[in-house]
Amino acid sequence: MAGERGHCSRIRRAHFEGVLRVLLFNWPWYASSVAVVSSGTLVLQSFALEGWMKVAILLLVSCTLFWTMASLVVSHWVYDRSRLCRWDWIADQFPVAPARAVQIHAGHDETDGQLRRIFPLSHLLTWDIFDPDCMTESSITRARKLAPARLCVVPVSPAALPAVDAAFDAVFLVFAAHEIRSAKTRERLFGELRRVLRPGGSLLIVEHLRDWRNLVAYQGFCFLSRERAFGEQIQATT
């Protein structure tokens, strides 16, 4: 029956799989950081600079080195060491498995196989909402190129999801909402999620938040604020 769940054994990940993906997707930023730190250090060691110039270069090198290391350490903790990306916690959110569900991503996805393992008897669709007009970050383009091809993924428009009203018991939106930079397009997506989700259905969103922690670790201005993320979620499900 559709309400059954699979056995949720712990997901095994390579020790540095997550942080290596962050490096691959954002390598120009990290290469620039290495260049800044190396060049700044060389200048400090090679030239007798005036006090203010020395302080300015030292501050630039220190800040660049801090943000580079902070992003790698936090990425390793979040994507490799925490429970988050083992995905077994998703089962705890669903005492009864959804009969029909859809998983939505923007081109790089690692939850589809895990959801099918957790809910083996659920009818699960996978949609790709990538839109080059509003998802302009080069990192998402690199992530899509490195992602393995999957035949079951259907490209869809975030503003017009291909399903009838109240079609799904659950919708999974994992690390995808922040890729839509346009607030208007994002609002249309959440309006569509409300339409295709049945009354009483579950919308599970996983996102980084625009707060001081992500500012320190990732300079995360592109992430959603807590108010906007939860506000849009509430509007979509009420």
Instruction: Specify the CATH number for the domain of residue 180.
Output: 3.40.50.150
pLDDT band with cut points at 50, 70 and 90 for residue 228 = low
Instruction: Evaluate whether residue 59 is within a structural domain.
Output: yes
167 and 115 housed in the same domain: yes
Instruction: Evaluate whether residue 162 is within a structural domain.
Output: yes
> Which of 142-151, 184-193, 194-203 is predicted least confidently?
142-151
> Measuring CA to CA, how many Å separate 146 from each of 9, 24, 109, 138, 143?
27, 9, 11, 13, 5
pLDDT band with cut points at 50, 70 and 90 for residue 238 = very low
pLDDT band with cut points at 50, 70 and 90 for residue 151 = low
Q: State residue 206's pLDDT score.
A: 85
Reading the block at residue 223, the tokens are 């992430």
Instruction: Evaluate whether residue 9 is within a structural domain.
Output: no
Mean of all residue pLDDT scores within the chain:
80
Give residue 144's domain range: 86-237
Q: State residue 216's pLDDT score.
A: 63
Q: Are 223 and 214 in contact (CB under 8 A)?
A: yes
> Which of 4-13, 148-157, 183-192 is predicted least confidently?
4-13
Domain count, the chain: 2
β-pair partners for 100: 123
User: DSSP string covering 203-234, please?
Assistant: EEEE--BSSHHHHHHH--TTSBPHHHHHHHHH
162 and 100 housed in the same domain: yes
Instruction: Evaluate whether residue 77 is within a structural domain.
Output: yes
Last residue of a domain, one of 81, 103, 125: 81
Q: Are 206 and 174 in contact (CB under 8 A)?
A: yes
For the cut 70, the answer to whether the pLDDT of residue 209 exceeds it is no
76 and 93 housed in the same domain: no
pLDDT band with cut points at 50, 70 and 90 for residue 13 = low
114 and 161 housed in the same domain: yes
Instruction: Evaluate whether residue 10 is within a structural domain.
Output: no
Instruction: Evaluate whether residue 184 is within a structural domain.
Output: yes
What residues contact residue 6 under an 8 Å CB cut-off, 6+ apart? 117, 118, 119, 120, 121
163 and 212 housed in the same domain: yes
User: Quick one: which of 192, 205, 210, 109 has its CA closest to 152?
Assistant: 109
The residue that leads in pLDDT, 165 or 141, is 165
* pLDDT above 90 as % of the chain: 35
> Which of 28-32, 140-144, 149-153, 193-197 is predicted least confidently?
149-153
220 and 156 housed in the same domain: yes
* pLDDT above 70 as % of the chain: 79
Q: State residue 233's pLDDT score.
A: 46
151 and 76 housed in the same domain: no
pLDDT band with cut points at 50, 70 and 90 for residue 237 = very low
